[in-house]
Amino acid sequence: MLEQIRYILIKLANACVVFLPNSPFQSFLSQIDKIPFLGYLNYFVPVAQIIAVTQLWVTAVGLFYLVQLALRWVKMIE
């Protein structure tokens, strides 16, 4: 029973992800390695790690606000 619910939720999530646009930052992030002085800058300031942590933080905050919006919307209906 739980496996069926899990399977349905995964299918639903995959169907929702299809409608999301591609990341506008992927081309930027793929070309960031081509910056010639990035290795020297990373010695003093870990730019790659800062970008990764910022991306995770923005995703977490965005999800928080989406869940908060959904919960407020559900509360408004009741």
SS (H, E, C) the chain: CHHHHHHHHHHHHHHHHHCCCCCCCHHHHHHHHHCCCHHHHHHHCCHHHHHHHHHHHHHHHHHHHHHHHHHHHHHHHC
**pLDDT, tens only, 24-57:** 777 777 777 777 877 787 788 887 788 889 999 9
Domain ranges of the chain: 24-77
**pLDDT, tens only, 5-14:** 889 989 988 8
Predicted structure pTM score: 0.47
Predicted pLDDT at 65 = 94
Give percent above pLDDT 70 in the chain. Answer: 97
